[in-house]
Amino acid sequence: MRALLSKEVGGPETLTMGELPDPVAKPGEVVVAVKACAINYPDVIIIEDKYQFKPPRPFAPGGEIAGVVEAVGEGVDDLKPGDRVLGSTGWNGLAEKVAVERRRLYRLPEGKSFEQGASLLMTYGTSIHALLDRGHLKEGDTLLVLGAAGGIGLSVVELGKAFGARVIAAVSSEEKAAAAKAAGADETVIYGRAPFDKDASKALAEQFKAAVGPDGANVIYDPVGGDYAEPALRSIAWEGRYLVVGFPAGIPKLPLNLTLLKSCDVCGVFWGAFAARDPKANAAHVEHLFRLWEAGKISPHVSETFAFEDGGKAIAKLAGRGAIGKLVVKVAD
């Protein structure tokens, strides 16, 4: 079968179309004929050997797919060939077929496209776990979202509004601010490009404080990191929750005296590990997401689709922080 392969450590320019053996469904597994694969930040770093998982080469990046069941392994009796599914794979999603553990798959709701289905799980799954389990977001809270126009950022904006929060979207351009507003953000903050010196960091902190208001942000969702983290933390409310989600701008160092002064929590969010450790709780979250999707309160925003052969271009665009919403590679019709 065809696959977009990483044969050496490097950026998306090192990926080449090639062949992998057709997968076989082992007990508890399902072989899915991939129709669409969404691109996420782990795809950027897994091919550079900077991710926590390092699959043996050659492998295909791509951890979030939608497609059609082709075969089921022993012990799988609730899916059959022809069923439409979405799921998380870790990697090898940018291939014509992939074998997936049954627990990682969900039925794609009727009327929803493969492109949207491939764009739901990793972003909205991370965000609902972060907001409810780690951030304890409640109606009336103020939620500050960094990187709010990316796929994960827009998912947080939508979920924050669905859960009754006041949402402040922090982004890097007017175009991204408009996308966040369209997703429901109450206010936006446009920040500059890091790195920041001491004065620029202080100025950004004042921007955040002005936007969230005098009581501060009850929950801060940070999938960006880098020099944006400390200014955001300075805008947190008393007993607020700072959610550490990702580091495309670098791993920050936070002055811990701020956590004492605000009596706040800094909470790590590792959705993949949560889903593996507590699959029942994760499945309940996914069912909650399906209900919100059906009700029109969330909707995966696919801003651009790429041909299978151009999957490396999609990864490069995400790496360059040029994406609004989700980028999806169309693997097959």
**How is domain 123-272 classified at the architecture level of CATH?**
3-Layer(aba) Sandwich (3.40)
175 in Cβ contact with 324 (< 8 Å): yes
Strands 142-145 and 166-171, sheet pairing:
parallel
257 token code pair: 């005296």
Q: What is the mean pLDDT of residues 195-204?
A: 95
Question: For 94-120, how does the pLDDT look when each residue is reduced to its tens digit (9 = 90+)?
Answer: 999 999 999 999 999 999 999 999 999
206 token code pair: 């004042």
pLDDT band at 320 (very low <50, low <70, confident <90, very high): confident
Q: Where in the chain is the domain with CATH 3.90.180.10?
A: 2-120+301-330
pTM across the whole model = 0.91
Question: For 15-31, how does the pLDDT look when each residue is reduced to its tens digit (9 = 90+)?
Answer: 999 999 999 999 999 99
pLDDT band at 322 (very low <50, low <70, confident <90, very high): confident
Cα atoms found within 13 Å of the Cα of residue 21, Cβ hemisphere only: 3
Q: What is the pLDDT of residue 52?
A: 85
Q: What is the pLDDT of residue 45?
A: 94
Cα-atom radius of gyration of the chain, to the nearest Å? 20
Closest-CA residue to 150 (of 16, 237, 228, 246): 246
- For residues 44 and 319, give the distance between their C-alpha atoms in angstroms, rounded to a whole number: 6
**Residue 286 three-state SS:** helix
pLDDT band at 175 (very low <50, low <70, confident <90, very high): very high
Q: What is the pLDDT of residue 102?
A: 95
Question: For 30-43, how does the pLDDT look when each residue is reduced to its tens digit (9 = 90+)?
Answer: 999 999 999 999 99
Cα atoms found within 13 Å of the Cα of residue 102, Cβ hemisphere only: 16
Q: Where in the chain is the domain with CATH 3.40.50.720?
A: 123-272
137 in Cβ contact with 165 (< 8 Å): yes
Tell which CATH classification among 1.10.10.10, 3.90.180.10, 3.30.70.100, 3.30.70.2190 matches the domain 2-120+301-330: 3.90.180.10
Range 185-205 burial, b when 16+ CB lie within 10 A, else e: bbbbbebeebebeeeebeebb
pLDDT band at 14 (very low <50, low <70, confident <90, very high): very high
Q: What is the pLDDT of residue 248?
A: 87
Residues 6 or more apart whose Cβ sits within 8 Å of residue 118 = 35, 36, 37, 38, 64, 65, 66, 86, 328
Question: For 255-284, how does the pLDDT look when each residue is reduced to its tens digit (9 = 90+)?
Answer: 999 999 999 999 999 998 999 999 999 999
The secondary structure of residue 131, as a DSSP letter, is I
- For residues 280 and 278, give the distance between their C-alpha atoms in angstroms, rounded to a whole number: 6
80 in Cβ contact with 72 (< 8 Å): yes
CA angle 311, 314, 320 (to 5 degrees): 145
